[in-house]
Structure 1
Amino acid sequence: MDKINVLLIVTLISIFISLILAFFLLTVKTKYKTSNILFAVFLILAAVDLSEPLFNLVVDGPSNLGMLRTTLAFLQIPVFYLYVVSVCYSDFKLKPKYFFHLLPFLIVNIVLLPRFYTVDLSSKINFIINRQHMIELQFIHILFHIQFVVYFIAVFILLRKTKKLYLENNAGTHLNSYNWLFQFTVVLTVLYSIALLKNIFKFSDYPYISEWIKFGILVIQPFIFCWYLFKALNNPELFRNVDSKLQLVAEIILEEKNKEQSVANEDNYNEELLKLRSYMIEKKPFLNPSVTIQDISENIQIPTRELSVLINHQLGQHFYDFVNTYRIESAMEILKDTTKSKVTILEILYEVGFNSKSSFNTAFKKHTGNTPTYYRNNLQISSL
């Protein structure tokens, strides 16, 4: 089996997997339909991008359709960015303003109109043969590199901000989901970086290196997408409960300073802090695995904005860590209780408001310096 046949087989497999995954996302019943549609579109665009070897078998020579297929790559990263936005924010909706993301794709195709789309076949062939000297293609390559850098920086900034918003307003366990979404973005960044390297070699004196890189991408990409969707199916909630209207505490503080207002005077601060701590001890809202700062705000009659500043700024703790402190203290009380020595660690973590063993272990070690098991065993040894 020669190299061309192997490339075609791998291409067919990669495209088939991408399209099957896209079909699944478009047909599966879920309340997160918009996110699924966006990722399905991303998979379809990726499949179109991978289809070059098959396309060249069907279409002989350069064509308008072939060039359009190539320029569709300018839609992949914007669609992925919108997908990440839709996953992070619970109130995400597709709006007309998002058509702005089509701009690079439209610009590229307008640039190609005079000397490619509107000319005869011989002129198209000449355009491709002399591609290294064509200013349009040089512009397209530069624009794609700029788009790649800008969008992936925007994605990482978005994930960082969303994680911080989550920590400041929620005390659930969705940070694990953040971690693998971040990992997927890193992997995708590396994949696109390799693809850019492939394009550099394609228009250099070493085009064969580009072919080998293309083959590697064809093999790796389906596995990456399958891994991501497997994770997504096992963590369907992801963030999903971060409201895009929420502000970071740093932004609130800056606004207050600009208005020359103090966030709260000392007496008011002490009064609100006392009310908060009394409520946490008496009502134990931390036992609810998905408690939010809004929930506590409603119950103690302190505006969410003020409460967020109180906890995240005045106390110097994220709401996530603030709530987990009470959960860990409660867990430590259970671990110290000799009458509950038969209660397992798993039972304890669920009882105090955690719903993930990994998040419980991480929080417990952060608070005490030890794992729950070590802490319990050490107590037993000390009592002997």
Structure 2
Amino acid sequence: MNGIDLIRVLAVVAVTVSLILGIFLFTVSTRHKLGNVLLAAFILINGLDLSMLFLGQWLQQYPGALVLLITVSLLNNPVFYLYARSACDSDFRLRLVHLWHAVPFILINVELIPRFYLVEHGEKLDMLESYASIPELGWMIVIGNLQFVYYITAIFLVLKKYRKLYRENYADPAIITYRWLFQLVLVDTVAHSIVLAKDLLKLGNWGSWSNSLQLLVGINAVFILCWFVFKALYNPDLFRGVSFHLEPLRRQAVTAIDEQTQEKIDLLKTYMLEREPFLDPALTIQQLARQLKIPMKELSVLINLHLGQHFFDFVNGYRVRKAMELLRDDQQRERTVQEIFYEVGFNSKSSFNTAFKKLTNLTPRQYRNSAEAVD
């Protein structure tokens, strides 16, 4: 099997996987429907792009359809950004204003109507012989890369806000959505860099190098799509968004705490020790405010400003101290560390170890061994 045949086989595999995954995301019943639809659209657009590797020659019989499919790639970065917004922001909805993200795709195709779509079939075929005769396709590379820089920057800003709001309002140590999107952005950046290099070599008539990178694109696509599938299987809830209507607290110098504020802080600490709400791994600041019967904003100010901690760290501190108590208890010696961290509200070993070591400078196992040595 030569290199071209291998590229086509890999492309067929990648497109088949993308179709299956896309159809699944479109049809699966879930409360995260918008996020699923946008992720499916992102996957299918990439699948269409990859299908050119084995359908391109056949589609040359239909040059109008071929060029239209090529320009669809201009929707890739905008859809990825909208997916990131929907995954992070639980209040996000698609609105007419979001159509502006499709402006480059629309403008390119409007420009191509008189120059390409409306010309005779034979002239279209002649123009397809060289990218130079269709300058709009060259502009697409420039626009696509400018889009990529803009939207990746926008996604990082969304993730930055999401992470801050999450830490101020949620106590679940596993920020699955943030990690998933961060990994996805890195993977997409690598994949885009390879495609960019391939396109530049193609424009520069470096055919052999371009074909080699084409093979790498195919391998990369199969790997990424399989990674998508495994992620979906092992992390069925990748869409735990926070409301972007919440505003991050602005850090400010806090003067002396008045008597009324101190009473509320004491009430909060007593409640945490006696009622142990932190044992709920999905505890949020909204839930804790309802339990204490005080406004959420007021509770957020107490924890984030007066106690100088994010809600995330505040709750995990109580979880760690509860774990320390259990690890010291002689009657708990038969229990594993894993059983203990689940009991105190953590849902992953790595997040438990990180929080525990941050507070004690020891791993949970080291702490238990040191407690046994003292006894």
TM-score normalised according to structure 1 size: 0.89
Give the stretch that moved more between structures: 121-130 or 22-31: 121-130
Q: Deviations over 1:236-281 (max 9, x none)?
A: 223515122111113xx69xx9xxxx99974443233222212212
Structure 1 198/188 Cα, relative in aligned 2: closer, same or farther at 3 Å? same
**In structure 2, do the counterparts of structure 1 residues 338 and 219 end up closer, same or farther at CA, with 3 Å as the change threshold?**
same
Moved more, 109-118 or 361-370: 109-118
Change (3 A) 1:131 1:244: same
Distance in 2, Cα, partners of 1:163 & 1:284: 25
Report if aligned partners of 2:177, 2:241 keep a CA contact under 8 Å in 1. Answer: no
**Residue in structure 1 matched with residue 63 of structure 2 by the alignment:** 63
Counterparts of residues 108-123 of structure 1 (less than 5 Å): 108-121=108-121, 123=123
Deviation at 1:140, TM superposition (A): 2.5
Counterpart Cα distance in 2 of 1:267 and 1:181: 44
Change (3 A) 1:2 1:328: closer
Letter paired with 2:111: V
Query: Of 298, 301, 305, which aligns to 2:290?
Result: 298
C-alpha separation between the residues in 2 aligned to 1:238 and 1:159? 14
Structure 1 residues 239 and 311, CA gap change in structure 2 (3 angstroms): farther
Structure 1 position 329 matched with structure 2 position 345: no
> Between the two proteins, what is the percent identity of the paired residues?
41
In 2: Cα distance, 1:56 partner to 1:345 partner:
56
CA 200–208 in structure 1, closer or farther in 2 if over 3 Å, else same: same
Greater mean alpha carbon deviation, residues 73-82 or residues 319-328: 73-82
Point out where structure 2 has 5 or more consecutive residues left out of the alignment.
Answer: none
Q: Which moved more, 1:228-237 or 1:209-218?
A: 228-237
CA distance in 2 between counterparts of 1:350 and 1:381 reads 25
Q: Is the counterpart of residue 190 in structure 1 residue 200 in structure 2?
A: no
Residue 105 of structure 1 pairs with residue 105 of structure 2: yes
The amino acid across from 2:48 in the alignment is V
Q: CA RMSD in A?
A: 2.5
Name the CA distance, whole Å, in 1 between partners of 2:232 and 2:6: 31
| Equivalent in the alignment of 1:89 | 89
- The equivalent residue for 1:152 is 152
- Higher relative contact order structure (alpha carbons within 8 Å, sequence separation ≥ 6): 2
Distance in 2, matches of 1:194 and 1:85, equals 26
Q: Across the two proteins, how many residue pairs are aligned to each other?
A: 375
Q: In 2, are the aligned partners of 1:184 and 1:228 still within 8 Å (CA)?
A: no
2:350 to 354, 358, 370: 358
Q: What is the aligned partner in structure 2 of residue 236 from structure 1?
A: 236
CA distance in 2, matches of 1:269, 1:195: 58
Instruction: Indicate which of 270, 273, 276 corresponds to 1:278.
Output: 270
Matching residue of 2:13: 13
Partners of 2:274 and 2:72 lie apart in 1 by 58
2: CA distance, partners of 1:10 / 1:353: 44
Q: Deviation of residue 298 (structure 1)?
A: 1.8
Question: For residues 242 and 182 of structure 1, do their structure 2 counterparts lie closer, same or farther at Cα, with a shift above 3 Å needed?
Answer: same
Q: Which aligned pairs between 1:215-294 and structure 2 lie closer than 5 A?
A: 215-250=215-250, 266-294=258-286
* Cα distance in 1 for residues equivalent to 2:85 and 2:229: 17
- Residues 126-177 of structure 1 deviation map (CA, whole Å, 9 limit, x = unaligned): 5445644765344322211111111111112212221221111001133245
8 Å Cα contact 2:173/2:346 also seen in 1: yes
Hey, what's the Cα distance between the residues in 2 that align with 1:265 and 1:344?
42
What is the CA–CA distance in structure 1 between the aligned matches of 2:176 and 2:361, rounded to whole Å?
A: 21
1:175 aligned partner:
175
Matches within 5 A, 1:120-139: 120-121=120-121, 123-125=123-125, 127-128=127-128, 131-132=131-132, 135-139=135-139
**Any conservation in 2 of the 1:18–1:222 contact (CA below 8 Å)?**
no
User: Is the partner of 2:301 in helix, strand or coil?
Assistant: helix
CA distance in 1 between partners of 2:335 and 2:6 (Å): 58
Opposite residue 279 of structure 1, the aligned amino acid is Y
Q: How has the CA–CA distance of structure 1 residues 324 and 72 changed in structure 2, closer, same or farther, with 3 Å as cutoff?
A: same
User: Residues 263, 97 of structure 1: CA spacing in aligned structure 2 closer, same or farther, 3 A cutoff?
Assistant: farther
Q: 1:159 to 1:264 in 2, by over 3 A?
A: farther
2: CA distance, partners of 1:8 / 1:138: 24
TM norm structure 2:
0.91
Which residue does 2:162 correspond to in 1? 162
What SS does the aligned partner of 1:40 have? helix
1:44 corresponds in structure 2 to: 44
Which range is displaced more, 32-41 or 181-190? Answer: 32-41
d(CA) in 2 for partners of 1:158, 1:264: 35
Classify 1:313/1:129 alpha carbon distance in 2 versus 1 (closer, same or farther; 3 Å): farther
Letter of the structure 2 residue corresponding to residue 106 of structure 1: I
SS of 1:112's partner is: helix
Structure 2 contact 174–351 (Cα < 8 Å) conserved: no
- Check the 8 A contact 2:165/2:246 in 1, yes or no: yes
